[in-house]
């Protein structure tokens, strides 16, 4: 599923969409060391972390999109770094669990 399609499903605000990448799976978590070692490439990463270090982990793990949950506003630094590094960044109102359920359903229906 494309990032733009996930944005529709989750009613997301798109902060950055550089390349409409294919999402294969998802990952929920906030501690960066866990995400760094577990986040599968081409995932949508659901988190409430909103600082620029999230971008570094997303680049290193090749996340398809960072999805900041529960209407947390990303730091200016995060938005800026996503734009310069070509990372897709969305903001959604749903908590991570609900995002993951919706992604899973949509992936199954593809």
Partner 1 sequence: MSEDCIRLEFDVDSENFASAGMASEAVKTKLKQLGINMQDVRRVAIAMYEGEINMVIHAKGGKATVDIFPHRVDMILADKGPGIADIDLAMKEGYSTAPDNIRALGFGAGMGLPNMKKNTDAMKIDSVQGIGTTIYMTVNLH
- Can you give the binding site for partner 1, defined by CB under 8 A? 30-34, 36-37, 41, 49, 51-57, 59-61, 75, 77, 81, 85
Q: Which is nearer to partner 1, 9 or 48 (CB)?
A: 48
Side-chain-facing half-sphere of 41: CA atoms under 13 Å: 4
Q: Which is nearer to partner 1, 45 or 94 (CB)?
A: 45
Q: How far is the CB of 106 from partner 1 (least distance, A)?
A: 26
Contact 99, 10 (CB under 8 A): yes
Q: How far is the CB of 41 from partner 1 (least distance, A)?
A: 7
Q: Which is nearer to partner 1, 51 or 71 (CB)?
A: 51
Residue 25 has what DSSP assignment?
Answer: E
Query: Which pair of tokens denotes residue 105?
Result: 């359903």
Strands 65-68 and 89-91: parallel
Cβ within 8 Å of residue 24, ≥6 positions away: 40, 41, 42, 43, 64, 107
Q: How far is the CB of 68 from partner 1 (least distance, A)?
A: 12
Q: How far is the CB of 39 from partner 1 (least distance, A)?
A: 10
């Amino acid at each position: 599923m494309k990032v733009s399609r996930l944005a529709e499903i989750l009613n997301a605000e798109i902060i950055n969409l550089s390349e409409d990448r294919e999402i294969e799976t998802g990952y929920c978590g906030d501690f960066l060391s866990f995400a760094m070692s577990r986040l599968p490439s081409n995932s949508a990463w659901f988190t409430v972390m909103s600082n620029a270090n999230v971008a570094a982990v997303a680049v290193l793990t090749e996340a398809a999109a960072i999805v900041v949950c529960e209407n947390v506003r990303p730091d200016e630094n995060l938005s800026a770094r996503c734009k310069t590094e070509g990372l897709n960044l969305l903001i959604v109102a749903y908590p991570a669990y609900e995002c993951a359920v919706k992604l899973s359903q949509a992936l199954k229906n593809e």
